[in-house]
Structure 1
Amino acid sequence: MKLPFPGYPRACERRLLAEAILSGRKSNARFLSYFLPGTVAAGGPQRPSKQMQDGARRRRRRRQPLFPRSPEPFPEEDEAAKEKIDLVPRSPEEHWAPQSVKYSSLVALAFIIRPTAVIPWVPLLLRHFWQEQRKLDLFLHQFLPIGFVTFSLSLIIDRIFFGQWTLVQYNFLKFNVLQDLGTFYGSHPWHWYFSQGFPAVLGTHLPFFIHGCFLASKRYRIFLVTVLWTLLVYSMLSHKEFRFIYPVLPFCMVFCGYSLNHLKTWKKPALSFLFLSNMLLALYTGLVHQRGTLDVMTNIQELCYNNPNVSSASVFIMMPCHSTPYYSHVHYPLPMRFLQCPPDLSGKSDYLTEADIFYLNPLKWLYREFHNDSTLPTHLIIFSVLEEVKEHEKKEISPFLISSNYERTAVCFHTHLPEDRTGSHIYVYERKLKGKLN
């Protein structure tokens, strides 16, 4: 056996030796001093006997951590030495035995839930496989059985749900990669993650991340490789979103921690800057920005529980697709409808969704859709943009609201930055019977 294996922190080596000496375990000290060059303890370096090696191996096995943890973002060599002993495996022939089963199971579970979850794990799995001495044993006794069990469970669950054998992972790959149908919901240039997405997700941490990349030791390069690999893979897809690269944030924080740890004079100002900038942004985006789509569902929920005529009530949400939550916030079997926007699976070049057709001429669409008063919903939910008269645009629907006896009953603030089909406020309209208008 070899101790330590490459990358083992030198501070941990010194602490192990010091603890062995202070605790009076001279045999341990001699054993460690043999493998740690430049150290002398308990009579100097001596070659350990086989009994000493076997005893040390048993002690390491008892102290084996159940699951490998990532390193501290703010490493302090002396103060965190004991914790680093747990973070770093004991020896190359032992350190993956119990942990591989656990982390491999989590990776497999993440994959069957969302196949793209495996992307950040590819460099880490390859590095694990490359460093493992018993590669065939790792593959045959851990990776292969875990993959077979989780994949079989996925097939069985989908067979029960769909009523036929379905490989949902292939369908996911076919839709998003082979057919690239995600572009239906928007597309961006190949460099978007590097030029806009990644900087926006990191925010004020970006300069500290860059600084930390130059400071971090070689043993953390695998984290940087993981970040770059993930960004490159997602850059190959036309449809891009900020949330796709959230999994790389923990790796980025390691480098930010290195940067902050090496700042001396500016450490406290830097921490204050990060705290204030992120706190202010979190408060605004979490409590103010685009809050209307949640507030309006609270209004609908109150309608269900306070309206004596709720059994005859119905709601039509005339907003862009996926603007509001649905029954997860209402918790009542209220008939609700929203504008449909399913992706085009037929390959038509001039394909338009119901939402697209509606926003081309909302007033015309409403008169055609609700030519009979009996089909009118009792409540309408719209963005304020549908009541704004703009030159060369036909989005104003006030004539329909007046002729159909709709009265505004609630106003919810939405955003200070309205755009295109969204407005600064959300309006709730209720249809009043003739003779009962306020």
Structure 2
Amino acid sequence: MHVLRIAAVRGTAAIAAANTYFQPDEYWQSLEIAHRIVFGYGYRTWEWAREPPIRSVIHPLLFVPVYLFANVTPGGAQAVLIVLHTASFYLLFTSSRTFSNTAEAALVSIALYFWPLTDRGVPRRRFLVALAAAYTAVLVRPTSIVLWAFLGVWHLADMSKRGALPVLKAITDAVLVGAVVLGVGLVADSLYYGRLVFTPATFFIENVVHSVAIFYGTHPWHWYLSQGLPAMLTVATPWVLAGWWNALIGRISARDPGAVQRLAYTALFVVAVFSLLSHKEFRFLQSVLPMLHVCGAIYLASAAPSVTNWSAASRSLPNPLRTLLLAQVPFLIYTLAFHSRGQVAIMGHLHDLASQERVHSIGFMMPCHSTPWQSHLHLPKFASEEPTNSGRLWFVGCPPPQPNDGPMYWDQSDFFYHDPITYIYDRFPHQVDPAFPPSPGEVKKAARVPPERAQFDLGWQHEWPSHLVVFDALLHVKAHNTSVKDILAEKGYTERLRVWNSIFHPDQRRRGSIVVLRHSAA
């Protein structure tokens, strides 16, 4: 119970404090879609709009009740919901961010609890529960199939020692449960998209066969070992890696060393397979992190065999590890509660601004998906269909290349940041229309671009909005004997609101505060 209380405090604190921005997917692949389902408007990124789509609606559906509740209840009831939400047992076992990887990691942990991790097997009921959780994890994140294929083959090898019948029973159970769970996913996705869609297959084709993910960055084969895992394990890296190695070679002291060794090899297999893929991210390994923590915990506990409770365990940690853990606290507080906070907070400010003054249109001149969208802005008058580089609410887009586009591909964001001042001169009117009409989007008007990239220029054109949202860094871009700040001032824009975002940002385009500029005619 002591451990559960600690976990509850930790989880509640994380959920309450996490009003910061980490990566676009935590908003655009979950909350934005849920908002669209309930309210009828919201942006769909290319994963949802492309034919065929590659994202399953299963994960966003988890958040539909929250928006549905907000849509049909008064503010007082919503306040009660916030209290219940932050104290939710489910949330305490997941994370404070709405990534599909978080849901996947939770489902994997649940499945592993019931999964037969030794050759002794488990009762059939437990195995069926494990299969259901595992298949659901695959629906949420199709890449989870790597983990479950490895464990599934190992389990069949165990069953083969007992004869053909146990193998046949295990395969039958896997097929039946898979048919039910994947069938539910097929129906849900097909209802959402209005046509027959099996998103795990389309996800695999787009990201693996067509290698679309490479557009978002490539990394060397050793990245997970040299950077990914150390960043995820932080100060515990040496002890966890030592425990992982001991588990792999069978040199561990545990109640069930075979099960721990199987977890260690599963983690190794997943890391090895994911290392073969060019595009890598920390969160792709989120589901194996609990396995590594198990290995590290056993390694640390073996040095203090008298440990019997949580307090004794904390005292038994090596002094360097305890010191490093404490040293993390200020950094954790900053990153959880403050770093990139403005990228989320700005949407609430804009929502409030729309009730205080005439906001005819809003343009986001910043790297694509730098903020949440209608899930946080919630302004139905700006509802529009894709693409959202047009209309009265727009941002600079970044769709991935088509299969035949090649390495020279540039998206709209690349064109914009290659030379922001030339982009503004070529793609915005010379005069600001005080009616602030919607932007036309792609009209194939000639612009000055590098010749080798010209084929990817879709002719984006904009109308000047009543309000612009930019990072401070953009205002200080200088070229052609002027600056972006000077150009906007000449057009009649003045600072209306400034929101602090971070002390430092690794992306130089996102440095400084977030500034809302309003035109004098608004």
Q: Which residue of 2 aligns with 1:175?
A: 206
Q: Which has the higher contact order (CA 8 A, sep 6+)?
A: 2
CA offset digits 1:88-125 (Å, max 9, x no partner)? 98x97772311011110111111122211222223322
Q: Which has the larger radius of gyration?
A: 1
Equivalent residue letter for 2:419: N
CA offset digits 1:198-248 (Å, max 9, x no partner)? 111111111121232325344111111111111111111111111111111
Q: Which residue of 1 aligns with 2:517?
A: 429
Tell me if structure 2 keeps the 8 A contact 1:212–1:256.
yes
What is the rounded CA distance, in whole Å, between the counterparts of 1:251 and 1:322 in structure 2?
A: 32
Equivalent residue letter for 1:368: D
Q: Which residue of 2 aligns with 1:369?
A: 427
Q: Aligned match of 2:379 in 323, 332, 356?
A: 332
Give the percent of matched residue pairs that are identical in Structure 1 and Structure 2: 29
Q: Aligned match of 2:297 in 257, 270, 273?
A: 257
User: Once the 2 structures are TM-superposed, how far is the Cα of residue 270 of structure 1 from its aligned partner?
Assistant: 5.5
Q: TM-score, normalised by structure 2?
A: 0.61
What is the rounded CA distance, in whole Å, between the counterparts of 2:482 and 2:218 in structure 1?
A: 26
User: Once the 2 structures are TM-superposed, how far is the Cα of residue 414 of structure 1 from its aligned partner?
Assistant: 1.9
What is the rounded CA distance, in whole Å, between the counterparts of 1:111 and 1:88 in structure 2?
A: 15
Q: Which residue of 2 aligns with 1:97?
A: 124
Secondary structure of the corresponding residue to residue 408 of structure 1? strand
What is the rounded CA distance, in whole Å, between the counterparts of 1:266 and 1:162 in structure 2?
A: 54
Provide the alpha-carbon RMSD of the alignment: 2.7
CA offset digits 1:150-183 (Å, max 9, x no partner)? 2323333333233332332221111111111111
Secondary structure of the corresponding residue to residue 380 of structure 2? coil
What is the rounded CA distance, in whole Å, between the counterparts of 1:160 and 1:338 in structure 2?
A: 29
Give the number of aligned pairs. Answer: 344
Equivalent residue letter for 1:347: N
- Pair 1:389–1:173, CA change in 2 (3 A): closer
Q: Which residue of 1 aligns with 2:287?
A: 247
Does 2:217 match 1:129? no
- Pair 1:174–1:382, CA change in 2 (3 A): same
Equivalent residue letter for 1:416: I
Residues 10-409 of structure 1 aligned to structure 2 (within 5 Å): 95-132=122-159, 133=162, 134-140=166-172, 142-213=173-244, 214=246, 216-217=252-253, 218-219=257-258, 220-264=260-304, 267=317, 269=319, 272-273=322-323, 275-307=325-357, 309-310=358-359, 313-335=360-382, 336-349=393-406, 350-371=408-429, 372-374=431-433, 375-389=463-477, 396-409=483-496
Equivalent residue letter for 2:369: H
Moved over 6 A (4+): 86-89, 91-94, 392-395
What is the rounded CA distance, in whole Å, between the counterparts of 2:171 and 2:124 in structure 1?
A: 12
Tell me if structure 1 keeps the 8 A contact 2:114–2:129.
no
What is the rounded CA distance, in whole Å, between the counterparts of 2:141 and 2:210 in structure 1?
A: 18
- Pair 1:395–1:292, CA change in 2 (3 A): farther
What is the rounded CA distance, in whole Å, between the counterparts of 1:116 and 1:158 in structure 2?
A: 18
User: Once the 2 structures are TM-superposed, how far is the Cα of residue 408 of structure 1 from its aligned partner?
Assistant: 0.6
- Give the gaps of 5 or more residues in structure 2: 1-112, 305-314, 383-392, 434-462
- Pair 1:377–1:203, CA change in 2 (3 A): same
What is the rounded CA distance, in whole Å, between the counterparts of 2:263 and 2:121 in structure 1?
A: 23
User: Once the 2 structures are TM-superposed, how far is the Cα of residue 128 of structure 1 from its aligned partner?
Assistant: 2.4
User: Once the 2 structures are TM-superposed, how far is the Cα of residue 186 of structure 1 from its aligned partner?
Assistant: 0.9
- Give the gaps of 5 or more residues in structure 1: 1-85
Tell me if structure 2 keeps the 8 A contact 1:185–1:239.
yes
What is the rounded CA distance, in whole Å, between the counterparts of 1:208 and 1:157 in structure 2?
A: 43
- Pair 1:277–1:431, CA change in 2 (3 A): same
What is the rounded CA distance, in whole Å, between the counterparts of 1:385 and 1:94 in structure 2?
A: 59
Q: Which residue of 2 aligns with 1:5?
A: none
- Pair 1:394–1:121, CA change in 2 (3 A): farther
- Pair 1:334–1:355, CA change in 2 (3 A): farther
